[in-house]
Amino acid sequence: MSRFAAPIAESIWDMKYRFKQADGTPIDQSVEDSWRRVARALSAREPEREGEFFEALADFKFLPAGRILAGAGTERNVTLFNCFVMGTIPDSMSGIFENLREAALTMQQGGGIGYDFSTIRPKGADVKGVAADASGPLSFMDVWDAMCRTIMSAGSRRGAMMATMRCDHPDIEDFIAAKSDPARLRMFNMSVLVTDPFMEAVKADASWDLVFDGKVYHTVEARDLWNRIMQATYDYAEPGVIFIDRINKMNNLAYCETISATNPCGEQPLPPYGACLLGSINLARLVQAPFEEGAALDGAALGQLVRTAVRMMDNVVDESRFPLEAQRQEAQAKRRIGLGVTGLADALLMLGLRYGSDGAAAQTEDWMRLIAREAYLASVELAKEKGPFPLFDAEAFLASGSLTHMDDDVREAIRTHGIRNALLTSIAPTGTISLYAGNVSSGIEPVFAYAYTRKVLQKDGSRTEEEVVDYAVQMWRDKFGDRALPDYFVNAQTLTPSEHVKMQAAAQKWVDSSISKTINVPEDIGFEAFKSVYLEAWDTGCKGCTTYRPNDVTGSVLSVSETSEEAPEADHGADVIYMSEPLDRPSALEGATYKLRWPESEHAIYITINDLVVNGHRRPFEVFINSKNMEHFAWTVALTRMISAVFRRGGDVSFVVEELKAVFDPRGGGWIGGRYVPSILAAIGGVIERHMIETGFLAGEGMGLKSDPQSEVVNLGIRRGPACPRCGQYEMRMVEGCMTCGACGHSKCG
């Protein structure tokens, strides 16, 4: 019998976490082999713990982050840490590019990175000694963005970056508006560092100085600046908001570090060179007698699992490799870990609690309090055994904001024995590992869709369909058959924004780092109501706020029809099927020919793209690529035939552009039109993209289909979401701040 609760879980394991040889031959023959490999690696210094670690991993009860599952015990030169905040960027050209080099080295190992660009002087400021004006932080962010694209094109996992800027930086208005250009800074998530004085100025309708290095560059109205942040977020889903003063006041290490950036999804505020090590307790696996009168979460089992997980994660600090020595030193000096949860919404459903209700919020707070208490006590026991973290200072540590409400017996234990890990709790995005665990609800998010259809590519090229069902919904089906779901079953689209905020605030009280959470708001929400979501997050103690409002710019996600008064039945979930038939060629087509001159090439390449008009819309139908350079003949003919064959199939063919633009030539790329292009194939992809934009097939550079006349959505209550760039299925959804595919687990944030 398979240990997997759903076929998609086994697919995710095979694709992402299964240890294989370079040629793809499996080394892990079963998921038990993977659990054994990880348990053995993390118990290398205390082998007597291997059995305990294996039992924690078994049946998906404890879910270390994907880096640990994929890398532990493989002897490969990879880091087991997910994300990093890089060093402080000096306000000098040499310092800026040294930080760029460090970022590239970190990304090469697959680490997501965060940066605070507030330390770079504003655009137009004097540059002493060279009689020039500064270009400003946004121009250097463009350089980082290009670097991330290049690293990704070279074959590493998709890069993820977070850029932050203080609300009092003179270039903050440009920072806020940066994502209004859809072609710019695509590799960044962006957040504004909002201070307490700024929020007070907003509420008081006071003026606000924009300052750098003690000099006031501009004075604006605080409320106007806040409205700019809100309008950009309303229109483009960015920037996010980080309440940075609150983060620093609550930080256990406020006495020895200052935080000004987070990892890409925001759940780990980190100091310079800080690293986040993540893992999640699967609450859905700990509920006893689900859906029955006496349903309850097994508190004793939860406590034991937390204690084992803390020990395992502490061992990762010593077993992991690091891209930079500074990252290793930072991790070992403070030994911070981020233990969180997944399957929260499913666990609440099993207890008959409606996500977003007062009862669900109270239960969430109780569970998070128990996890925090057990984690801190487990870390105290580790300190007795192995010593506290090197920078531990008892009184300073206990004076931090997050420790003031901790139980007295825990505080006394810390004062007497010290503590092994400076910070212990965090709630991370768990999009992929939640699929691996049987499609449990991710993190503390509500259930997104009760069920949807996934298309699976078979070895013979055919596609089969399988239903992917939420873990709690499947359990209900197994228990009660076709009985209708109770009214306490709700999903992300049927909740009010206030209910989302309530759940985030309930969990935040007992989380010493932060929480990755997306507050879904309806497309037609009014601007004033939208702004109130952020003020509510501020007033209720959240450390940040991220919203997602589907629209023509951000793209729609699969959602419940707004005309429906009830949640959909389990078997009528997000069943989206994309239909397209091969297109017939008429005798004449409209087209255009483009001349592409590749640097240092003797002959130009000519690219002809012909379009078919369907229902008044132009769409690409065929491509011809010609060059006098005979060295190009074979591959240009092959490319012509392959691209044309794809175009003639109809449907969403925009992925052709992304695939070509991602091709990296190890011999080096070239500069075309002031932009670095990683290969001649990427240049051809750029030409095709430009043509698609000019004919209206694409809305803009890097954007998906504007209008596809061949698409048909089956099940009228559901809107089609954007296609996944990896598997092509229409299951992209916003999960904890990142567009994530529900079918294959692909995420913009890696």
Task: Count Cβ neighbours within 10 Å for each residue of 238-263 and write b for 16 or more, e otherwise.
Answer: bbbbbbbebbbebbbbbebbebbbbb
Catalytic residue among 82, 263, 439, 610: 263
Scanning the structure block, which residue is given the tokens 């012509």? 640
How many angstroms separate the CA atoms of 388 and 376, rounded? 12
Active site residue 267: yes
Per DSSP bridges, beta strands 126-127 and 278-282 are unpaired
CB-CB contact of 712 with 579 (8 Å): yes
| HEC assignment per residue over 697-743 | CECCCCCCECCCCCCCCCCCCECCCCCCCCCCCCCEEEECCEEEECC
Catalytic residue among 267, 330, 536, 731: 267
How many angstroms separate the CA atoms of 614 and 368, rounded? 55
How many angstroms separate the CA atoms of 56 and 62, rounded? 6
Active site residue 421: no
Q: Which of 261, 275, 238, 213 is nearest to 65 (CA)?
A: 275
How many angstroms separate the CA atoms of 161 and 406, rounded? 33
- The H or E element containing residue 127 is strand 126-127
Catalytic residue among 265, 276, 542, 738: 265
CA distance to 199, 237, 363, 732, per residue, from 719 (Å): 37, 19, 33, 12
Active site residue 712: no
Contacts for 292 with CB less than 8 Å, ≥ 6 apart: none
Contacts for 76 with CB less than 8 Å, ≥ 6 apart: none
HSE, side-chain direction, 13 A CA sphere, residue 444 = 31
How many angstroms separate the CA atoms of 737 and 638, rounded? 40
CB under 8 A, 24+ apart: contacts of 224-232: 225/167, 225/172, 225/173, 225/198, 226/198, 226/202, 226/531, 227/531, 228/173, 228/176, 228/177, 229/176, 229/192, 230/527, 230/530, 230/531, 230/534, 231/527, 232/176, 232/177, 232/179, 232/180
Provide the residue type at 201 as one letter. A
CB-CB contact of 323 with 111 (8 Å): yes
CB-CB contact of 25 with 18 (8 Å): no
Contacts for 481 with CB less than 8 Å, ≥ 6 apart: none
DSSP string of 596-645? E--TT-SS-EEEEEEEEEETTEEEEEEEEEEES-GGGHHHHHHHHHHHHH
The catalytic residue positions are 263, 265, 267
